[in-house]
Structure 1
């Protein structure tokens, strides 16, 4: 009985390589096929904002908010300045100041919080009027209160961004806080909102 010699390790590797090569090539061709390209392009690109603006705002509480007064009238303004349009949808819009009114609230637990809700109206640099709705907390480094453009250019856009609210020294009252200055950056989005800090 003849003994069939075992193939050498080198020969086995060579056969294995010849068997795997077509599979690897076919897999690579599958990635390059139209179906593979379509799958790669199916991933949605990140949303791009209509506008990116510097936030400059002032809110005043009357009477001052604090432990003794939990709800007060809000007046002031929300300014969007030095705006630019990454997607080109609103390149003519560079600034607006919304004069606002609404309600301010103070919550003591678990930590002191100030929140605002209301509406505002203003005029864009183009002469077109606009209005918005806002609602949320005034907390350092927090997202800006939810805002939606309700009329005028970019009506329907949602607004997000980051804010830094600072109690004004001339607005601190023995009975509580009577106002905040707020700075930051905001983005106007038509549809899905992305990260405003990316712009």
Structure 2
């Protein structure tokens, strides 16, 4: 007696069951290929490079007031020096310039409100390590952690460059008297910029 297998109505035959996984796999492969051929998303445009300074220098300065600035004397003559030392040239504009000391002359002012402030304005002249003469203009507050007073090179190498940076002015103990403060030592870092100024702290 022959053995016969009955197939339930609607059930797939063994051959059809074997073919179904192959068809599903082919569909998956086609979808993956379509993804590979799809155009890649446009890359974000690169940020424009920022300005690069002509020089980066260590700031070493001393300003003296005569008479002492304070409540009794709100304005005084400023003398002293602004030294830019150990300079380097990130943009290669002036690698030969490494040091200069500007001897300064100007006016110091004291403001009591809302908090005590000391500001300076004047000019300075000096000679670079190369022997070339230079001069600058300065104007701004002597405030800890503040930007250096506005400075511009007015003659000599890098004429027209603006200068920015950070400063730490400290009243000199031998320059403090009952009438106020007669002098500050200032340290920090400055950058010389030809045109647009960037962040000096980045260098």
Q: Does 1:153 align with 2:149?
A: no
Match of 1:134 among 131, 138, 143: 138
Q: Does 1:25 align with 2:30?
A: no
The Cα shift of 1:148 comes to 0.7
Q: Does 1:189 align with 2:189?
A: no
Structure 2 gaps, min length 5: 1-23
Structure 1 gaps, min length 5: 1-9
The Cα shift of 1:27 comes to 4.6
User: 1:172 — aligned with what?
Assistant: 176
Once residues 93 and 67 of structure 1 are traced to their aligned partners in structure 2, the CA distance between those partners, rounded to angstroms, is 41
User: 2:129 — aligned with what?
Assistant: 125
Deviations 1:17-72 (A, max 9, x none): 58x848x82353xx3xxxx7xx825x320211111111000001111100011111
The Cα shift of 1:194 comes to 1.1
Once residues 182 and 92 of structure 1 are traced to their aligned partners in structure 2, the CA distance between those partners, rounded to angstroms, is 25
**Larger fraction in helix:** 1
Question: Which ranges of 4 or more aligned residues in structure 1 deviate by more than 3 Å?
Answer: none
User: 2:98 — aligned with what?
Assistant: 94
Deviations 1:138-164 (A, max 9, x none): 001111001111111011111111111
The Cα shift of 1:89 comes to 0.7
RMSD between aligned alpha carbons?
Answer: 2.2
Q: Does 1:40 align with 2:53?
A: no
Q: Does 1:162 align with 2:173?
A: no
User: 1:81 — aligned with what?
Assistant: 85
Larger Rg: 2
User: 1:4 — aligned with what?
Assistant: none
Match of 1:116 among 97, 105, 120: 120
Number of corresponding residues: 179
